[in-house]
């Protein structure tokens, strides 16, 4: 899975709190060797891990996003647009159910 770091309120992880660094490290471990996610309704492949770095855990966002063309091809047939990291797991953005990393 391709990993993309974006600047939020901080430019680097070193400027963030230990809680943020720990969450990012755990998320990176979870997606190692994976390329997408599966929900009860759909399967998304060739995804990217997008990490927006904030100064604390509340301003840091860790998301798995499918490629932009996947939205266009599926049109209205998708249910969860991305998966977000919360409390040690990734969850679907719409139904809040835990997703399976594939």
Per-residue model confidence (pLDDT) at position 71: 67
Neighbours of 36 (CB within 10 A): 20
CA 16, CA 9: separation in Å to the nearest integer? 9
* Stated pTM of the model: 0.90
pLDDT of residue 59: 95
Q: Are 98 and 91 in contact (CB under 8 A)?
A: yes
Q: 49 with 1: CB under 8 angstroms? A: yes
**Cβ 12 vs Cβ 52: under 8 Å:** no
Mean pLDDT (whole number) for 11-23? 94
pLDDT at 81: 85
Domain ranges of the chain: 2-101
The values of phi and psi at residue 37, to 5°, are -145, 155
Q: What is the pLDDT of residues 27-78, one digit of tens each?
A: 999 999 999 999 888 899 999 999 999 999 999 999 999 998 876 677 666 7
What pLDDT score was predicted for residue 72? 66
Task: Quote the pLDDT of residue 69.
Answer: 84
- Residue 102 in contact with residue 38, Cβ under 8 Å? yes
Structure confidence at residue 41 (pLDDT): 82
């Amino acid at each position: 899975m391709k990993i993309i770091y974006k600047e939020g309120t901080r430019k680097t992880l070193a400027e963030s709190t230990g809680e943020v660094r720990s969450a990012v490290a755990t998320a990176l471990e979870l997606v190692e060797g994976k390329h997408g996610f599966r929900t009860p309704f759909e399967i998304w492949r060739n995804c990217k891990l997008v990490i927006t770095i904030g100064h604390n855990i509340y301003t840091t966002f860790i998301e798995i996003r499918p490629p932009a063309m996947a939205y266009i091809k599926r049109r209205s047939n998708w249910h969860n647009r991305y998966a977000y990291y919360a409390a040690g797991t990734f969850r679907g953005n719409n139904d809040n159910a835990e997703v399976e990393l594939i």
